[in-house]
Amino acid sequence: MKKILLLAALLLFSPTVFSQDTEPEEVAEPETELPSTAYYLIRHSEKELSDPTDDDPHLTQQGLLRSAKLSYVLENVKFDAVYSTNYNRTTETAQPIAEKNGIDALTFYDPRSMDMKGFVEETNGKTVLIVGHSNTTPFLVNTLIGEEKYEEIDESVYSHLYIVNVLPSGEKTDLLLIID
């Protein structure tokens, strides 16, 4: 009797077992998420002012400490590239952050002759640090966001950190942080 019940159960359920489609289901591939682009822009740290004829001063001890602090503040940001003007004060500001990110060589730029369209294309989808000056850094931020929002930085201010995010949709967000 048990064998008959077992056979009946097998026959009853076998059509559903054997009639299942054996072809694998199509699995929808996840949409590829396009990366956003992040720009971090800072003015160089405190520079030596003792020689007014020196056009390329180095950082002061306070400036070196600020640069080290910035590298600590930004330690969880993985930069793909670090841009700097070709001056002692900007390269000395950028170097600690570049070193923490394994970037051997800074990329130099001249804000007076910068091809912004080419720069934006080259840095698309990357996270980039740009070290500049009191007059050039806000100008670059304004150019990246497409509006005149930020004014030149006062010569005594070294604490501004601008962050510009460009989403794949083209939407842009900006933020100004004060790092003292």
Q: Give me the CATH number covering residue 149.
A: 3.40.50.1240
Give a yes or no: residue 12 inside a domain.
Answer: no
Task: Spell out the residues 6+ positions from residue 143 whose beta carbon is closer than 8 angstroms to its own.
Answer: 116
Give a yes or no: residue 14 inside a domain.
Answer: no
Give a yes or no: residue 21 inside a domain.
Answer: no
Residues of the chain with pLDDT under 70: 1-32
Give a yes or no: residue 66 inside a domain.
Answer: yes
Give a yes or no: residue 47 inside a domain.
Answer: yes
pLDDT score at 20: 53
pLDDT score at 158: 97
- 165 dihedral zone (left: phi>0; alpha: psi -120 to 50; beta): beta
pLDDT score at 34: 77
This prediction's pTM: 0.81
pLDDT score at 10: 46
Domain that holds residue 135: 37-178
pLDDT score at 33: 72
pLDDT score at 32: 63
User: What's the total number of domains in the chain?
Assistant: 1
